[in-house]
Structure 1
Amino acid sequence: MKITKETVHNKQGYRLHILPTTKYKTVSIVAKFKAPLKREGITERALLPHVLHKATNKLPNVRKLQSALEDLYGTGFSSDGSKKGENHVISFRMEVVNESYLNESEPILEKALNIFHDVLFDPKVVDGGFDETIVNREKQTLEQKITSIKDDKMSYANLRLIDHMCEGEPYSLHVHGYLDDLQKITAKSLYEYYQSMIKNDELDVYVIGEVNDTEMDALADQTFARGDSDNRSGHQDSKSITPTEAKEIVEREEVKQGKLHIGYRTHTNFGDDDYFALQIFNGLFGGFPSSKLFMNVREKHSLAYYAASRFESHKGLLLVFSGVDPKDYDQAKSIILEQMEAMKQGDFTPEQVEDGKEQVVNQLQETMDNANGLIEVLYHQMLSGTEIPAHELMENIRKVTKEDVVKVAEKIELDTIYFLTSQEGGEA
């Protein structure tokens, strides 16, 4: 992984991370605004990125903004919101053509960054608020997104699992917000929240591509500097919860296929010494096509339409997803729980561990071959207070032993079993 070491500059109201590299034909710029997860403001945060990149004072409608980006050799721009542990992050991403590939000497990057600045800091404002037409249209889109989650039963079951499992914890908050709160948002109230976010959120800016560090430093200041911010929004650490007793919950909806989702507490987060062992554990347990869940629940017993697991690296959760026939609920649940016990007992071979390590390394390399993937890895590191060069990440994965995987498995505790079904039966 030949990428020049990341340089980090603490600037006026933001942190600048620059990775000069000739690996990519484009320059990627990502701005990440972070604040602690709170019910108050979560719906505004879900709505804001979509309102912001629809119009600026200089480019007052979607058509003009898109046209300006297209004129810069199809510069790409996108935004979204996500949960990272107990924090909420709004990301704005821009991808600009590398000027060295062009025959002209037009300052494409500088012009693109001027648009980036205006999207963030000079959005279209009408009578002390955002453009009401834009806000109402984006509210409608967000409302459809929130209501459509219930139609995707796998996503809905996962949402309900987290609702029950993390009740009372910030992580239980819905990343797309809440319909009740959405109805109350106006163009002016959203603009007020935006002003607070711009002033108080912690801002990190990542630049990856063929750039000159000194020139990029100056351009970034023109684009992202915030004079009235100390760039300290506060960081909400995820508390390690120890379940007193596992919960078993059955809910009924009109579903063709039962959704059996199970939540565990891993007590291992990104940045912990045993995080690398957890990556291998998850692969062997439910992350790979050859995993225990897939082979035993789906292939051997034909009990599930799908069976897999993933983990949340900043919250210490391991989540199991499976789609089962309601009549097979008890048997499928037993076999899933048995696979966890088998992992704790070391019921897997050193050869499977070696194969798992290579698969994890390949996945990581694939992620880091993409500029946005690399930025996500670096941002994860910054959030957890660790800084590990790419080659060391690979080395740490390759050092994992079978004993390490068993040790990390032994820490994992069952928290919640959730079953979404349309039939009677499968009672807790």
Structure 2
Amino acid sequence: MTKNITRIPICDGVTFHSIGEKRFKTGRLTAAMLLPLSAETASANAVLPYLLRRSCRRYPTFRALNEKLSSLYGASLQAQVYKLGEVQVLAVSAVGLDDRYALEKEEVAGELAELLCSILFDPAFENGQFRQEDIDQEKRQLIEQIDSEFNDKRIYAQIRCEELMCRDEAFGVGRFGTKKRVEALTGGEIYSAWRRALSSARMELMMVGGSDPQKAVEGFQKAFAQVSRKEILPCATQIIAKADRVKEFHDVMDVAQAKLVMGFRTGIAVPGGDVTAMRLMSALFGGTPHSKLFLNVREKLSLCYYCSSSYDRHKGIVMVQSGVEQKNIEKAREEILRQLQAVQEGDFSAEDLDAAKMSVANSFRTMSDYLGGLEAWYLSQAFEKTVLTPEQSAEAVGGVTKEQVVKAAQTVSLDTVYQLTGKEEA
């Protein structure tokens, strides 16, 4: 399936991406601000998109903004914060009816772009800053998100392992910063974060759907013409090719099920290296129900309640996470490393590789099934040398050889082992 994909420069560091896709009755328009991840600024940045989506000077109250959204066939505003390697992404999105289905031929996409510009560039300030009531509410909700990740020990263990593994790298900073920093945030800090984002962030404007992008492009060009764009902050990720030693960490908490997380360096990351082969390696190793970790560590040996691997292609690391009984931690660790060695030695069949290829290719193709998936796909390629459609990437998977997968596996080295166990067991 070929999509109509165009890139239009708006100004320094700002690019508009139009992904023409007429299968959907709605469209999605997103302003993504990309900033270097830093412990000093992460929390103030993280609050920002949630604050911006609340209101703007033109629609200063929640009610006024929602009345405007309702008039646009029930459009909605969304905010999101996540990491791409050592880059913090702050995204504000508007989702609404595709222009082709507007009853009076209204240009909904153009109006959503205008609204998004109002939200980004003209917030509803009070005494020159964001309103304190809004700040307090968004800080509270962000703290609740941080607490929810802490309370889910499966998520917490992986975050904690990444934090310890990369504690001397920007990647060790959480996407929301820390709870303590969020609690201490002032209106002045958040205002400074807003000014910094508008003047210095790399911005990717994403439009997905069947509407004509021209009105949206013109709206953003007009808005950015009023902004002084200073030196754009560099967005890069430090890639460490190999672990020089294995680091061991152990936390004790009130948990019923112990967690074992192992972090590996690969050195293979975008924009260089055979990322597709490493994706397949991770799938073959522990990314599917046909993988070695699932079939051997979990099913055959019953050492884990769950055991899987994931590959971060922007940072070039592989994480293996598992839920285990305390008595089985060392056995599970040894078996996980044994299964990795098997992949490194090419001890897998053509059928194993085909199953991994099918799983990875299907995961790519399903990204086209919804607007948010398509947007995430293309935004995640912001640092790639060549932009590919999900279908093109799925086809590329089929051409990867066993030798390429083995070569990718041989770059994997254990960096960090993290254990989270219960108090009584400890």
Separation of aligned partners in 1, 2:111 and 2:387: 32
Identity %: 29
Residue aligning to 1:12: 11
Q: 1:417 to 1:217 in 2, by over 3 A?
A: same
Deviations 1:199-221 (A, max 9, x none): 11111101122233544432332
Residue aligning to 2:365: 365
Residue aligning to 1:255: 255
Separation of aligned partners in 1, 2:213 and 2:183: 45
Residue aligning to 1:138: 138
Q: CA deviation at 1:265?
A: 0.7
- Letter of the 1:73 partner, please give it: Y
How many residues are matched?
Answer: 425
- Letter of the 2:139 partner, please give it: K
Deviations 1:174-228 (A, max 9, x none): 1122233223322233112211211111111011222335444323324555531
Residue aligning to 1:278: 278
| 2:7/2:18 contact within 8 Å kept | yes
Structure 2 unaligned blocks of 5 or more: none
| 1:271/1:381 contact within 8 Å kept | no
Matched, 1:218 2:218: yes
Structure 2 counterpart SS, 1:382: coil
Structure 1 counterpart SS, 2:18: strand
Q: How does 1:183-332 map to 2 (within 5 A)?
A: 183-222=183-222, 225=225, 227-229=227-229, 232-332=232-332
Matched, 1:129 2:94: no
Q: CA deviation at 1:148?
A: 3.2
Residue aligning to 2:54: 54
Q: CA deviation at 1:149?
A: 2.6
Separation of aligned partners in 2, 1:389 and 1:367: 10
Q: 1:209 to 1:144 in 2, by over 3 A?
A: closer
Q: CA deviation at 1:56?
A: 1.1
Separation of aligned partners in 1, 2:43 and 2:303: 38
Residue aligning to 1:176: 176
When normalised by structure 2's length, the TM-score is 0.94
- Letter of the 1:305 partner, please give it: Y
Matched, 1:100 2:123: no
Structure 2 counterpart SS, 1:381: coil
| 2:44/2:189 contact within 8 Å kept | no
Higher alpha-carbon deviation: 255-264 or 103-112:
103-112
Q: How does 1:377-416 map to 2 (within 5 A)?
A: 377-416=377-416
Residue aligning to 1:348: 348
Structure 1 unaligned blocks of 5 or more: none
Separation of aligned partners in 1, 2:88 and 2:156: 20
Q: 1:139 to 1:214 in 2, by over 3 A?
A: closer
- Letter of the 1:277 partner, please give it: A
Separation of aligned partners in 2, 1:280 and 1:302: 25
Q: 1:236 to 1:74 in 2, by over 3 A?
A: same
Separation of aligned partners in 1, 2:11 and 2:302: 58
Structure 2 counterpart SS, 1:411: coil
Separation of aligned partners in 2, 1:112 and 1:381: 24
- Letter of the 1:70 partner, please give it: S
Separation of aligned partners in 1, 2:135 and 2:83: 23
Q: How does 1:38-49 map to 2 (within 5 A)?
A: 38-49=38-49
Separation of aligned partners in 2, 1:369 and 1:69: 25
| 2:251/2:419 contact within 8 Å kept | yes
Q: 1:226 to 1:293 in 2, by over 3 A?
A: farther
- Letter of the 2:245 partner, please give it: E
- Letter of the 1:315 partner, please give it: K
RMSD of aligned residue pairs (Cα, Å): 1.9
| 1:78/1:93 contact within 8 Å kept | yes
- Letter of the 1:9 partner, please give it: I
Higher alpha-carbon deviation: 175-184 or 194-203:
175-184
Separation of aligned partners in 2, 1:348 and 1:29: 44
- Letter of the 1:329 partner, please give it: I
- Letter of the 2:349 partner, please give it: T
When normalised by structure 1's length, the TM-score is 0.94
Structure 2 counterpart SS, 1:39: coil
Q: CA deviation at 1:330?
A: 1.2
| 1:12/1:230 contact within 8 Å kept | no
Residue aligning to 1:110: 110
